[in-house]
Amino acid sequence: EPEVTQTPSHQVTQMGQEVILRCVPISNHLYFYWYRQILGQKVEFLVSFYNNEISEKSEIFDDQFSVERPDGSNFTLKIRSTKLEDSAMYFCATTDPSSGNTIYFGEGSWLTVV
């Protein structure tokens, strides 16, 4: 089965530091997403990305967050100045209409802000 891979699997960072989470989408997928899940809470949509630009973002995705696909392969989520409440599991997901719009999730990056 095709895979979305994410790195790092776990990162501990100090409050105020910048964090970059990386995702390698399934090749030939064109739509990319970030979701997050705070421990004990539901999975929440952050942002969708298509054709090298954000197509939709949630109210969670404020100016502290940014996404890009700098080299045509990695899809990154940057948190500029982390806060304690950014501690969560961050899931990358990808899809493509040619695959029946099935959404494939990566295994997640667990971010702990201390």
Partner 1 sequence: RKEVEQDPGPFNVPEGATVAFNCTYSNSASQSFFWYRQDCRKEPKLLMSVYSSGNEDGRFTAQLNRASQYISLLIRDSKLSDSATYLCVVNCPPGGGGNKLTFGTGTQLKVEL
User: What is the rounded CA–CA span in Å between residue 72 and residue 100?
Assistant: 23
Nearer to partner 1, 52 or 102 (CB): 102
Determine if 68 is a binding residue for partner 1 (CB under 8 A): no
Determine if 95 is a binding residue for partner 1 (CB under 8 A): yes
Tell me how far the alpha carbon of residue 26 is from its chain's centroid. 14
Determine if 45 is a binding residue for partner 1 (CB under 8 A): yes
H-state helical runs in the chain: none
Please enumerate in sequence order all residues whose Cβ is within 8 A of that of 111, keeping only pairs 6 or more positions apart, or say none: 10, 11, 13, 19, 21, 79, 82, 86, 87, 88, 89, 90
Determine if 42 is a binding residue for partner 1 (CB under 8 A): yes
Smallest separation (angstroms) from partner 1 to the CB of 98: 12
Binding site for partner 1 (CB under 8 A): 31, 33, 35, 41-45, 48, 50, 55-56, 89, 91, 95, 97, 101-103, 105-108, 110
